[in-house]
A and B are shown apart, each in its own frame.
Chain A
Amino acid sequence: DIQMTQSPSSVSASVGDRVTITCRASQGISSWLAWYQQKPGKAPKSLIYTTSSLQGGVPSRFSGSGYGTDFTLTISSLQPEDFATYYCQQTNSFPLTFGGGTKVEIK
Chain B
Amino acid sequence: EVQVLESGGGLVQPGGSLRLSCAASGSTFSSFAMSWVRQAPGKGLEWVSGISGSGDSTYYADSVRGRFTISRDSSKNALYLQMNSLRADDTAVYYCAKLTAYSASAVDYWGQGTLVTVSS
Q: Are A95 and B106 in contact (CB under 8 A)?
A: no
Of all chain A residues, the one with the shortest Cβ separation from B97 is: A44
Whether, in the assembled complex, A75 has its beta carbon less than 8 Å from a beta carbon of chain B, the answer is no
User: Knowing A1-B62, A43-B95, A44-B95 touch, does A93 contact B45 (C-beta < 8 A)?
Assistant: no
Of all chain B residues, the one with the shortest Cβ separation from A44 is: B110
The complex places the Cα of A80 from the Cα of B25 at a distance, in Å, of: 32
Q: Are B59 and A94 in contact (CB under 8 A)?
A: yes
Interface 9-residue window, one of A10-18, A20-28, A66-74, A97-105: A97-105
B112 to chain A: which residues have CB within 8 Å?
A: 43
How many residues of chain A get a CB closer than 8 Å to chain B's CBs? 26
Q: Are A95 and B95 in contact (CB under 8 A)?
A: no
Which of chain B's residues 83-120 have a Cβ closer than 8 Å to chain A?
95, 100, 103-113
B: which residues have CB within 8 A of A? Answer: 35, 37, 44-47, 50, 59-62, 95, 100, 103-113
9 tightest A-B CB contacts, nearest first: A34-B106, A94-B59, A49-B106, A101-B44, A43-B110, A98-B45, A96-B47, A91-B106, A100-B44
20 more A-B contacts (CB under 8 A) besides A46-B107, A95-B61? A36-B107, A43-B111, A46-B106, A46-B108, A46-B110, A49-B100, A49-B106, A49-B108, A87-B44, A87-B45, A91-B104, A91-B106, A94-B103, A95-B47, A95-B50, A95-B60, A98-B37, A98-B44, A98-B46, A99-B44
